[in-house]
Amino acid sequence: MFEAFILICSISNPNLYHTLEDTYGPYEYKKQCITRAYTIAAELPAYMPDYVAVKYKCFNSEDAEGKVRT
């Protein structure tokens, strides 16, 4: 199962970052997770207009065993 995380950055302060975690997942396939990450990035301006999506990561929650692999 894959979980989506999106790194967002403030437009006014490029040193200000936040991580968003998708609440709809986890997803069975990585492609579903990637699609969801792009959807979140596309909808971000409507909810947080001062931020832009910079990166995403789809973690395999079954392989992680409590560790974050980058």
Rounded distance between C-alpha atoms, residue 11 and residue 4, angstroms: 22
- Mean pLDDT (the chain) is 88
Residues 6+ apart with CB under 8 A from 23: none
Rounded distance between C-alpha atoms, residue 17 and residue 48, angstroms: 13
pTM for the structure as a whole: 0.78
pLDDT, tens digit, 9 for 90 and up, residues 32-57? 999 999 999 999 999 999 999 999 99
Residue 64 pLDDT exceeds 60? no
Residue 44, SS3 per DSSP? helix
What is the pLDDT at residue 61?
76
Residue 27 pLDDT exceeds 80? yes
